[in-house]
Amino acid sequence: MSLTVQSPVPGKTVPMSEVPDPVFAESMVGPGLAVQPAGGRQNAVAPVDGTVVTLHPHAFVVATEDGRAVLVHLGIDTVKQKGEGFTLHVVKGESVRAGQPLIEWDPDAVVAAGYSAIVPVVALDAAPEVLSGQLTGADVVAGDPVFVWDD
């Protein structure tokens, strides 16, 4: 079954190799792509239908009914901001629909704090060959399809 993964934020899609963090750039936690977000306060939305299984101010994981999980990380090293500038709209364990706002944040504030605002979108524990249609180099709005995950 194919799972279409949507962009959690507006911006420009880039290959995962351009993320300034080796854990993501080398796909250690899984393949995917990243979005260089547009500026200004915005909502990061669920990339798939599922359940919020991990939730931090700067990152979340949504697991689908069939067990696949997508990680969205809002910026790099943003854990050091200790939640400042991030507003949660959901709780861990909540069922969500693709496109539903999960966290409000401001990429410009992340950059001003000295961090990269790039947003990795990761198919957790997937093999690279199960992803197709990675949309890199494209301008996207939140909710646009960015890759397909085939099982």
Residues designated as active site: 73
Alpha helices in the chain (DSSP H): 22-25, 107-112
Among 35, 62, 63, 69, residue whose Cα is nearest residue 46? 62
CB under 8 Å to 151, separation ≥6 — which residues?
1, 2, 3, 66, 68, 130
